[in-house]
Amino acid sequence: MVVPVKRLAAAKSRLRGALPAVPHEELALALAADTVAAVRACPAVAGVLVVTDDARVAEAARRAGARALPDAPGAGLNAAFRHGAAAAGGGWVAGLTADLPALRPAELAAALRAAQAAPRGVRRFVADAPSRGTVLLAAPPGVGLDPRFGVGSAAAHAASGALALTGDWPSLRRDVDTADDLAAAARLGLGPRTAALAAAGCAA
């Protein structure tokens, strides 16, 4: 599983100030750390590759049992996904955004099971809650990940031939870009690092 994370100083800019008493980088780190912890807790995931140039994120990833890779070639999110996928080796490869602090391992496992069901040879994706973005993209063995993340990525992934998975996985679909998203994630139940910050810094 490839999980790219921007440098904390630049990450999650739309979320800046969502918890006024909490330094922004701490919040951005907590989102990523809770996401990676949930992925690590999912038995269906063989290994986690965190693609980042941020030393704190890399250290947190390694402590959680993930591998950290540099953000090569430094050409944005899709290049980071491609870099991680190339390092992942054979078998199924999936990419996940790192802003899913409510993610439940059982929902990720269910989505990965659905991804691995027929038809063969086709990439699958899970759209975010508003159905505009993408939270998960999975490619079967021998098929490139071909990530199209960014604004309007759900439509871009569908247009590229990927199949939308339609399961009811609210914690997987709940990416956090804004203060409202953080409040929605809090209603689902935040992971421990983000929850602690939310409790300390005026709950979302």
Ligand X SMILES: C=C(OP(=O)(O)O)C(=O)O
Mark the binding-site residues for phosphoenolpyruvate, compressed into ranges. 134, 150, 153
Rounded to a whole number, what is the distance in angstroms from the first to the last CA of the chain?
29
Which partner in ligand X, ligand GTP, none is near 134 (CB below 5 to 8 A by kind)? ligand X
Among candidates 9, 2, 12, 7, which has minimal Cα distance to 101? 12
Q: Provide the mask over 122-141, with x wherever binding to ligand X is found by CB under 6 A and - wherever it is not.
A: ------x----xx-------
**Which stretches does DSSP call E strand in the chain?**
2-4, 49-51, 67-69, 93-96, 124-127, 134-139, 163-164
Q: How far is the CB of 7 from ligand GTP (least distance, A)?
A: 8
CA gap 154, 165 in Å, rounded: 11
CA gap 147, 62 in Å, rounded: 24
Q: List the one residue from 14, 62, 63, 132 that touches ligand GTP (CB under 6 A).
A: 14
Q: Which residues are annotated as a binding site?
A: 134, 150, 153
Q: How many CA atoms lie within 13 A of 59 on its CB side?
A: 5
Stretch of 81-89, 109-117, 145-153, 184-192 lying at the interface with ligand X (CB under 6 A): 145-153
The answer to whether residue 4 forms part of the interface with ligand GTP (CB under 6 A) is: yes
Phi, psi (degrees; rounded to nearest 5) at 64: -85, 0
Q: List the one residue from 33, 37, 48, 98 that touches ligand GTP (CB under 6 A).
A: 98
The answer to whether residue 26 forms part of the interface with ligand X (CB under 6 A) is: no
The answer to whether residue 51 forms part of the interface with ligand GTP (CB under 6 A) is: yes
DSSP state of 160: T
Stretch of 59-67, 95-103, 119-127, 184-192 lying at the interface with ligand GTP (CB under 6 A): 95-103
Positions that interact with ligand GTP (CB under 6 A): 4-6, 11-14, 51-52, 71, 76-77, 80, 97-99, 177
